[in-house]
Amino acid sequence: MGNPDMDGRLSASQSDGIISNFYTSSAWIEGRAEDQLKHVSTWAGVTKVAAFPDLHPGKYGPVGCAVLAARIYPQLIGNDIGCGMSLFQLDMPVRKLKLEKAVRRIRVLGEPLDTSLEGRLEEINLSADLFAGALGTIGGGNHFCEVQTLVDPQTGCGLDQGLTYLLVHSGSRGLGEATLNALPQDAFDGLMPGSEDAASYVAGHDSAVRWAMLNRQIIAERAAEALRADVRLISDVPHNILAETPAGWLHRKGAAMAADLVPVAGSRATSSHLVQPLGQDAALASLAHGAGRRYDRSSMHGRVRGKRSDIAAMERTPFGGRVICEDRDLLIEEAPQAYKSADSVVSDLEATGVARRIATLNPLLTFKKTRKEGSR
């Protein structure tokens, strides 16, 4: 596939009136990410771009932005179509959570499912065999299922501080990648709305979005069953998603859809936050979705020591919590030092008037991967 050149630095005049930045001068923004942002703003049919404080370089364009265009650019959504964050409330009081017991039980997320999920796929109008074997699995990279406690909720937000919560970050697994790989060679030049290729991509995209939402739901159900609790969805917010609007096609790449409550994830050793969008038109109904990477995965192997004592330390958090990640490389690549401060990201969202903080969520138990999962 063709790939727009991302290397050249562009003059500010080329993006005047197109890019709106929702971060302050104190934000950690890599220059290469801003170069990518400016380049995307020059693509054919692009009319508006919104960038958020979690902005960082990506493969085909920056992560942490929303792009409005007259054409469809599949590379701006990426291969994990429908990836997002879902926040769930458990009916388990914090005082009744026994951490060591929870650590043992939640490891079931690394085990194969022992029930058929074909009916669940058919319920959302998907084929019963559509990547059914991957449903209920978290995947690699920065995906996780985390047990959290609620701190300092705003009055009237409707959330109970005495209960535990689950934050699930996962996507469409192999389905999204298959959808991207099925595109014609020139798709990255932009698919023209109304064309057969565009219609085919949009159909595949929409299926992957539904699949990803179901996947997060099933992950939460598995975790809740392991913890002997019932679970209730609070908010499901995709951040790799395409939407048709009256003004054109809105692409979100690592930019959360502006729902009533939007989780902004921290690292496994730092707090996450819940924010409420304030409806700025220039933000393209989008927000930051997390802390955003500060350093890429490969460089983390030179920044974090991998001795046994270091690995053991990374399996504990400042909150007295635990991290289940039995893939040494993944543990290093996703170390807290790899990420920006989620608190700073949310402060920038507040400072630029795009959102307000509703509550903070502290991690107690983060599940990423067990040895039994292998390369699945």
The catalytic residues are: 289
Distance CA 19, CA 182 (A): 31
Alpha-carbon span 72 to 201, nearest angstrom? 9
List beta partners, residue 264: 273
List Cα–Cα distances, 118 to 134, 168, 170, 223, 332, in angstroms.
12, 22, 19, 20, 36
Give the Cβ contact number of residue 254 at 10 Å: 26
| In the block, residue with structure tokens 């995307």 | 40
Backbone angles phi, psi at 84, to 5 degrees: -170, -175
How far apart CA 54 and CA 34 sit, in angstroms, is: 12
Instruction: Please report the DSSP string for 166-219 in residue order.
Output: EEEEE--HHHHHHHHHTS-TTGGG-BPTTSHHHHHHHHHHHHHHHHHHHHHHHH
- What's at 231, amino acid-wise? V
244 - beta bridge partners? 249
Tokens representing residue 144 in the block: 């996780």
Q: Give one word for 158, left, alpha or beta, with left for phi > 0 and alpha for psi -120 to 50.
A: left
CA distance 250 to 239: 12
Q: Report the interhelical angle of 196-226 vs 99-106 (nearest 10°).
A: 140
| Nearest to 60, CA basis, from 21, 4, 10 | 4
